[in-house]
């Protein structure tokens, strides 16, 4: 088999050529999806290659003792994967801590980075997603490690399956038959789960091994066929035709793949295409055809050899540039590509193939290498964790002053106008709404400390309460009903519920400019059907609370802006395209933008005269132009969420509103 399939040294140039195709497609897609809409399928090509190459590695070392067999395999994987991976993750963590402001309400980046050290980043991306506020994939510098995690998890299972096949493949009894069927059965089960998962929980189907196992197993099954002398090219024409057909299938996926139907069924043509190219690339006759010569050419193999390092480094480069200067111009895209290739070449020659450390471990036993590898993982995780925890101290961003920027429940907060202590002892204040309810955390902490009130916050991103522009979203209705029940069960007559939400269309989120939506302007404009339904929903909620003797406060829309201050306040990110909208808008524009909501509030107030409407707008925008900054200090964290400083500015007004809403205010003040 070796003489018919492999070149004299066991090296198959066409596989490196296929690696080049895979990594370049991923790079183009990540740079700009329009360049190659289905370029993400390059990862699926990598999976097929890995299944094939790992099988060859296992077959060429058929030790009889399973422990030595397994230890040898894992040692080779540690030497192959971890030096470059750990260095990349650590340096990415340092660069991220220096240059990337922490995204409010999201720890996904840190969790993904830590998990990537142990081959678990795919789990982190699914489990630790912060949902509404989770950084989009293109802003998490560790996202790409999910595919490496899938392969590492594959390595935990596959050697056992392969060993059982390799050891017992010649047996004619039931055990031999079962051992021969283990991998095919697992392949089919995985493919079936992939089809099911893509239509039900696509994020699980995309990121997790059970729905990706079939792709790696396809490469393994192809190796089994080659090992048995089957599916081998019989001549240059066959080899060339196989490569051309495979390239056509992969090209079809790269151009036409539907991301919503991925990995099933659109990963299938990419996997089949990769298998066909491998078939046409093996054997001494492969390079006799022009497609084989092209796949095995020097430029293709050179890129293929650095493909692992290129995959590792290109993504952090793109993400860090996306966070800072942006990637909208052709010049910055060229810069990103040049930096990625430069780092990949360095990483390949000095880290992956670095003689300075490979010679040192050349005489080590496999157990020692494995122990050092595990120790290196643990040490890297500790270092990365320390770096990420140190972001407030080492960051080059002005947002390192977290008690000014981040609207959290900072201890020992102080108000600008201290109020008599313990004036609300025994009172409960329930704050309920979308992420903007959580964005009042600093103000609410001051209220706790200065008045003795018990404050309960119920906040869910994307789930506005009494939105007044649209009825509650379907995915939020159960939460709204459950929370209303919980609040009324805890409350007593005279307690306060504060309904806090955005209530106007956003102009920008933390990741992209959303544009200026059209609004119905004019103080006398009638409510449309959706707004009327939303007002009726809000009225029903107010009814619930007023029936138990609670006082209801609702906030009017605050100013909003076209650029997020936390991403645009440093010299290294101020020129990012997301910052073009600036931090100042005319008061007249913002008042017109929120007028439909003010009309709805007036309608709601007419239905419930005891409803208290608190309007922070005049405090945050006292002049003809509204700014996201109070001088040089931020009033807002992003385009519409308050900063901690903005919270402190609003506290005196909010305290007055709370006090005036109470039925027995006079008896509460000592």
Using an 8 Å Cβ cutoff, are 19 and 278 in contact?
no
Asked if residue 665 has pLDDT above 50, the reply is no
Q: Is residue 576 part of a domain?
A: no
Q: Is residue 589 part of a domain?
A: no
CA atoms within 13 Å, Cβ hemisphere of 433: 25
Q: How confident is the model at residue 415 (pLDDT cuts 50, 70, 90)?
A: very low
Q: How far is CA 92 from the centre of its chain?
A: 15
Q: Tell me the percentage of the chain whose pLDDT exceeds 70.
A: 93
Asked if residue 520 has pLDDT above 70, the reply is no
Q: Identify the pLDDT of residue 529.
A: 87
The alpha carbon torsion through 84, 89, 94, 96 (nearest 10 deg) reads 130
Q: Identify the pLDDT of residue 420.
A: 56
Q: Which of 378, 396, 414 is the last residue of a domain?
A: 396
Q: Is residue 367 part of a domain?
A: yes
User: Is there a single domain that holds both residue 29 and residue 96?
Assistant: yes
Asked if residue 557 has pLDDT above 80, the reply is yes
Provide the whole-model pTM: 0.91
User: Is there a single domain that holds both residue 380 and residue 298?
Assistant: yes
Q: How confident is the model at residue 668 (pLDDT cuts 50, 70, 90)?
A: very low
The CATH number of whichever domain residue 434 belongs to comes to 3.40.50.1110
What is the phi-psi region of residue 430: left when phi exceeds 0, alpha when psi lies from -120 to 50, beta otherwise?
A: beta
User: Is there a single domain that holds both residue 241 and residue 160?
Assistant: yes
Using an 8 Å Cβ cutoff, are 659 and 665 in contact?
yes
Q: How confident is the model at residue 10 (pLDDT cuts 50, 70, 90)?
A: confident
Using an 8 Å Cβ cutoff, are 269 and 245 in contact?
no
User: Is there a single domain that holds both residue 92 and residue 237?
Assistant: yes
In residues, how long is the chain? 670
Asked if residue 651 has pLDDT above 50, the reply is yes
The tens digit of pLDDT for each residue in 370-396 reads 999 999 999 999 999 999 999 999 999
User: Is there a single domain that holds both residue 294 and residue 430?
Assistant: no
User: Is there a single domain that holds both residue 362 and residue 499?
Assistant: no
Please give the residue that has the higher pLDDT: either 235 or 422: 235
Using an 8 Å Cβ cutoff, are 76 and 364 in contact?
no
Q: Identify the pLDDT of residue 8.
A: 39
User: Is there a single domain that holds both residue 383 and residue 449?
Assistant: no
Q: Is residue 551 part of a domain?
A: yes
What is the number of domains present in the chain? Answer: 2
User: Is there a single domain that holds both residue 182 and residue 40?
Assistant: yes
For residue 331, report the phi and psi dihedrals to the nearest 5 degrees.
-65, -40
User: Is there a single domain that holds both residue 387 and residue 517?
Assistant: no
Structural domain boundaries enclosing 658: 424-559+595-620+643-668
Q: Indicate the SS3 state at residue 456.
A: strand
Radius of gyration of the chain (CA): 30
Asked if residue 283 has pLDDT above 70, the reply is yes
> Can you say whether the dihedral through the CA atoms of 146, 152, 153, 158 is positive or negative?
positive
Using an 8 Å Cβ cutoff, are 281 and 17 in contact?
yes
Asked if residue 524 has pLDDT above 80, the reply is no
Using an 8 Å Cβ cutoff, are 59 and 166 in contact?
yes
Alpha-carbon distance values, 440 to 8, 423, 547, 664 (Å): 69, 20, 26, 25
The tens digit of pLDDT for each residue in 40-60 reads 999 999 999 999 999 999 988
Using an 8 Å Cβ cutoff, are 210 and 264 in contact?
no
d(CA 646, CA 651): 9
Mean model confidence pLDDT for the chain: 91
Alpha-carbon distance values, 89 to 109, 377, 493, 629 (Å): 12, 11, 55, 35
Q: Indicate the SS3 state at residue 172.
A: coil
Q: Is residue 261 part of a domain?
A: yes
Q: What is the DSSP letter of 636?
A: B
Per-residue b/e over 59-86, b at no fewer than 16 CB within 10 Å? beeeeeeeeebbbbbbbbbbbebbbbbb
Q: Identify the pLDDT of residue 261.
A: 95
User: Is there a single domain that holds both residue 277 and residue 331?
Assistant: yes
Q: What is the DSSP letter of 642?
A: B
User: Is there a single domain that holds both residue 370 and residue 437?
Assistant: no
The tens digit of pLDDT for each residue in 61-108 reads 766 688 888 898 999 999 999 999 999 999 999 999 999 999 887 788
Q: Identify the pLDDT of residue 62.
A: 61
d(CA 335, CA 358): 32
**For residues 418-422, average pLDDT:** 58
The tens digit of pLDDT for each residue in 438-451 reads 999 999 999 999 99
Q: What is the DSSP letter of 348?
A: I
DSSP string, 337-368: HHHHHHHHHHIIIIIIT-HHHHHHHTT--HHH
**For residues 359-363, average pLDDT:** 90
Q: How confident is the model at residue 299 (pLDDT cuts 50, 70, 90)?
A: very high
Q: Indicate the SS3 state at residue 604.
A: helix
Neighbours of 173 (CB within 10 A): 8
| Parallel/antiparallel/unpaired status of strands 496-500 and 428-433 | parallel
DSSP string, 153-194: HHHHHHHHHHHHHHHHTT--SHHHHHHHHHHHHHHHHHHHHH
Q: Identify the pLDDT of residue 466.
A: 94
User: Is there a single domain that holds both residue 392 and residue 428?
Assistant: no
Please give the residue that has the higher pLDDT: either 411 or 8: 411
Q: What angle do CA 199, 201, 202 make, to 5 degrees?
A: 70
Residues facing 586 on adjacent strands: 625
**For residues 239-254, average pLDDT:** 97
Only one residue has tokens 């490469």, namely 219
Q: Is residue 13 part of a domain?
A: yes
The tens digit of pLDDT for each residue in 162-181 reads 999 988 888 899 999 999 99
Q: Is residue 575 part of a domain?
A: no
The tens digit of pLDDT for each residue in 182-205 reads 999 999 999 999 999 999 999 999
Q: Is residue 585 part of a domain?
A: no
* Residue 16: its H or E element: helix 13-31
């Amino acid at each position: 088999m070796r003489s018919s399939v492999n070149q004299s040294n066991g090296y198959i140039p066409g596989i490196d050529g296929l690696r080049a195709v895979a990594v370049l497609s991923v790079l183009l897609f990540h740079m700009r999806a329009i360049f190659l809409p289905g370029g993400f399928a390059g990862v699926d090509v990598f999976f097929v290659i890995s299944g094939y190459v790992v099988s060859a590695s296992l077959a060429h070392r058929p030790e009889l003792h399973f422990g030595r067999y397994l230890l040898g395999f894992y040692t080779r994987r540690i030497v192959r994967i971890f030096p470059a991976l750990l260095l990349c993750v650590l340096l990415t963590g340092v660069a991220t801590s220096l240059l990337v402001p922490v995204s409010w309400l999201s720890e996904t980046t840190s969790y993904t980075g830590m998990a990537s050290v142990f081959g678990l980043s795919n789990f982190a991306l699914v489990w630790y997603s912060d949902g509404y506020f989770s950084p989009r994939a293109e802003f998490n510098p560790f996202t790409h490690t999910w595919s490496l995690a899938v392969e590492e998890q594959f390595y935990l299972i596959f050697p056992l399956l392969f060993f059982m096949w390799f050891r017992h493949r010649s047996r004619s009894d039931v055990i031999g038959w079962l051992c021969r069927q283990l991998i095919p059965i697992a392949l089919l089960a995985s493919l079936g789960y992939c089809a099911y998962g893509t239509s039900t929980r696509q994020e699980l189907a995309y990121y997790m091994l059970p729905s990706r196992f079939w792709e790696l197993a396809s490469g393994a099954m192809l190796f089994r066929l080659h090992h048995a002398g089957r599916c081998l090219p019989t001549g240059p024409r066959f080899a060339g035709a196989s490569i051309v057909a495979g390239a056509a299938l992969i090209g079809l996926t790269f151009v036409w793949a539907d991301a919503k139907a991925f990995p099933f069924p659109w990963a299938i043509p990419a996997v089949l295409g990769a298998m066909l190219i491998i078939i046409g690339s093996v054997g001494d006759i492969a390079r006799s055809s022009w497609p084989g010569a092209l796949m095995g050419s020097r430029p293709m193999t050179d890129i293929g050899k650095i493909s692992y390092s290129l995959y590792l480094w290109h993504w952090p480069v793109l993400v860090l540039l996306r966070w800072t200067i942006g990637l909208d111009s052709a010049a910055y895209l060229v810069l990103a590509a040049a930096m990625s290739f430069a780092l990949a070449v360095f990483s390949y020659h000095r880290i992956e193939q670095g003689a300075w450390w490979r010679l040192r471990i050349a005489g080590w036993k496999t157990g020692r290498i494995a122990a050092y590898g595990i120790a290196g993982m643990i040490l890297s995780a500790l270092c990365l964790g320390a770096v990420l925890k140190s972001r407030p101290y080492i960051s080059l961003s002005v947002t390192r002053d977290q008690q000014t920027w981040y609207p959290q429940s900072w201890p020992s907060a102080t108000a600008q106008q201290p109020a008599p202590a313990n004036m609300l002892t025994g009172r409960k204040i329930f704050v309920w709404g979308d992420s903007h309810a959580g964005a009042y955390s600093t103000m609410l902490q001051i209220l706790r400390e200065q008045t003795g009130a018990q404050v309960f916050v119920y906040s869910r991103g994307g789930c506005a309460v009494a939105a007044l522009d649209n009825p509650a979203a379907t995915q939020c209705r159960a939460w709204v009903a459950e929370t209303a029940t919980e609040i009324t069960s805890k409350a007593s007559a005279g307690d306060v519920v504060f309904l806090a939400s955005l209530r106007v269309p956003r102009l920008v989120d933390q990741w992209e400019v959303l544009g200026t939506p059209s609004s119905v302007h004019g103080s006398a404009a009638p409510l449309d059907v959706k707004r009327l339904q939303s007002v009726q929903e809000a009225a029903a909620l107010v009814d619930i609370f007023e029936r138990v003797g609670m006082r209801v406060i609702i906030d009017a829309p605050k100013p909003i802006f076209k650029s997020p201050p936390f991403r645009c306040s440093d010299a290294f990110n101020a020129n990012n395209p997301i910052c073009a909208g600036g931090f100042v808008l005319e008061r007249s524009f913002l008042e017109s933008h929120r007028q439909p909501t003010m009309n709805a509030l007036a309608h709601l107030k007419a239905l419930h005269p005891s409803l208290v409407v608190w309007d922070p707008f005049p405090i945050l925008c006292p002049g003809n132009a509204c700014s996201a900054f109070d001088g040089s200090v931020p009033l807002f964290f992003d385009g519409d969420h308050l900063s901690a400083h903005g919270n402190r500015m609003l506290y005196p007004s909010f305290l007055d509103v709370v006090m005036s809403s109470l039925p027995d205010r006079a008896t509460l003040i000592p």
